[in-house]
Structure 1
Amino acid sequence: MPPPALDLIVETQPLPYEARLEARPRAQIDLVVVHCTELPDLATAREFGERVLYAGSGTGNSGHYYIDRDGSVHLWVSPERVANHTRGYNPRSIGVELVNTGRYPHWLHAAHQAMDEPYTEAQIVALVALLQSLVDEYPSLRSIAGHEDLDTTTVPAEDDPTRQVHRKRDPGPLFPWHRILDATPLKRLTP
């Protein structure tokens, strides 16, 4: 049985380029992709999110929602817009980023692939509440995946080009998939 719903408070702080992101119909959204920021804190994630990486559109990379270690939930891109968070899945998905160091600051070093920061209880409780809210708001939402499920690309390690490392490993081995799947009607999508 799912836990009782938490009163979800979402702090809305649109990214400067949000209006430039492509609009989409609500019915197109059928997937949530869970990420970890692989950065030290929410402020650094915001700095990365505000960077314009695509000159043609004036946009950058960002999830829709961010959940800080204290469980606070922040909306940076409206779900009715296509955010750039997972190659090949952006038009149909909502990206949820959990603040976590992951492999920071040596993301692609072969010697630094451990992801050993546990997610906080507050983050997991907030994530469940957010997912329950999204399921209620978007009837077509049926699936959930980790970034690592959808982007399995390997690249040469920066510290040893003879070794391959995964480009994306988030949310990583410490993410409690069983809790999330038990608490929501979403089914895990693994291509």
Structure 2
Amino acid sequence: MLASRLASRPARPVPIDPLPYESRLDERPLSAIDLVVIHCTELPDLATARRYGERVLYPAPDAAGGTGNSGHFYIDRDGSVHRYVTPERVAHHTRGYNPRSVGIELVNTGRYPHWLDSRHQAMDEAYAPAQIEALIGLLNSLRAAIPSLTTIAGHEDLDTAEVEASDDPTRKVRRKRDPGPMFPWKRVLDAVPLERLRPL
């Protein structure tokens, strides 16, 4: 199991707190994973992100419950790492890339609470040093545990769709901008053996 391999590495313990619907997410072999996607929660704190992750957005056809949107790992501002979905399950975090990827969410306000308002598109909260150090540690642990994992991308690299602005339907804004301009790509790429994926 991946959990035991990660746990065997010297690092801060990673609490395992599965989302209520984790067992209903599709299973996959770890060898199917070649990509990690970096997100920011665009929410004020980890507790709010957890509540959003627990929301059932995709009802099951057999009435046995549904699933929602979530990353696999969440990293709080203090550097604590939390696992909500095991990588052996397909989480819903990036349209078109979920079956092959692991999603990592960094707690950051982003554009909250006016995500699609054209007047509030700045993403100016810096990522805490402890948060980035924890991310680097997690990425290196995942790379060691999943040899097929070779690439990394930001959500904004993979979902470039534009939508109508909530304040003015004649204007367009990016649907996803995370992890945003404050994310230290050079620092992370210099520290992990992963190549940034930027689709054409």
TM-score by length of 1: 0.96
Q: Report the Cα distance in structure 2 between the residues aligned to 1:21 and 1:48, rounded to whole angstroms.
A: 17
1:118 counterpart letter in structure 2? A
Matched, 1:87 2:95: yes
* Alignment correspondent of 2:5: none
Matched, 1:40 2:44: yes
- C-alpha contact 1:6 1:129 (8 A) present in aligned 2: no
- Give the drift of 1:9: 1.7
Matched, 1:132 2:140: yes
Matched, 1:174 2:178: no
* Alignment correspondent of 2:15: 11
* Alignment correspondent of 2:171: 163
* Alignment correspondent of 1:97: 105
Runs of 4+ aligned residues of structure 1 deviating over 6 Å after TM superposition are: none
Q: Report the Cα distance in structure 2 between the residues aligned to 1:97 and 1:73, rounded to whole angstroms.
A: 10
Residue 123 (structure 1) aligned to one of 100, 117, 131: 131
Matched, 1:62 2:66: no
Q: Report the Cα distance in structure 1 between the residues aligned to 2:51 and 2:195, rounded to whole angstroms.
A: 32
Instruction: Structure 1: state its 5+ residue gaps.
Output: none
Q: Report the Cα distance in structure 1 between the residues aligned to 2:146 and 2:26, rounded to whole angstroms.
A: 18
User: Helix, strand or coil for the counterpart of 1:45?
Assistant: helix
User: Helix, strand or coil for the counterpart of 1:126?
Assistant: helix
Provide Cα deviations, 1:57-94, integer angstroms capped at 9, x if missing partner.
60000000000000000000000000000000000000
- Give the drift of 1:6: 6.4
Q: Report the Cα distance in structure 2 between the residues aligned to 1:169 and 1:132, rounded to whole angstroms.
A: 25
- Taking the TM superposition and a 5 Å limit, the aligned residue runs for 1:147-158 are 147-158=155-166
Q: Report the Cα distance in structure 1 between the residues aligned to 2:76 and 2:19, rounded to whole angstroms.
A: 17
Q: Report the Cα distance in structure 2 between the residues aligned to 1:155 and 1:176, rounded to whole angstroms.
A: 26
Q: Report the Cα distance in structure 1 between the residues aligned to 2:104 and 2:192, rounded to whole angstroms.
A: 15
TM-score by length of 2: 0.92
- Give the drift of 1:7: 1.8
Instruction: Structure 2: state its 5+ residue gaps.
Output: 1-8
Q: Report the Cα distance in structure 2 between the residues aligned to 1:6 and 1:184, rounded to whole angstroms.
A: 17
2:32 counterpart letter in structure 1? Q
User: Helix, strand or coil for the counterpart of 2:47?
Assistant: helix
RMSD: 1.0
1:102 counterpart letter in structure 2? G
* Alignment correspondent of 1:74: 82
User: Helix, strand or coil for the counterpart of 2:15?
Assistant: strand
- Give the drift of 1:8: 3.3
* Alignment correspondent of 2:34: 30
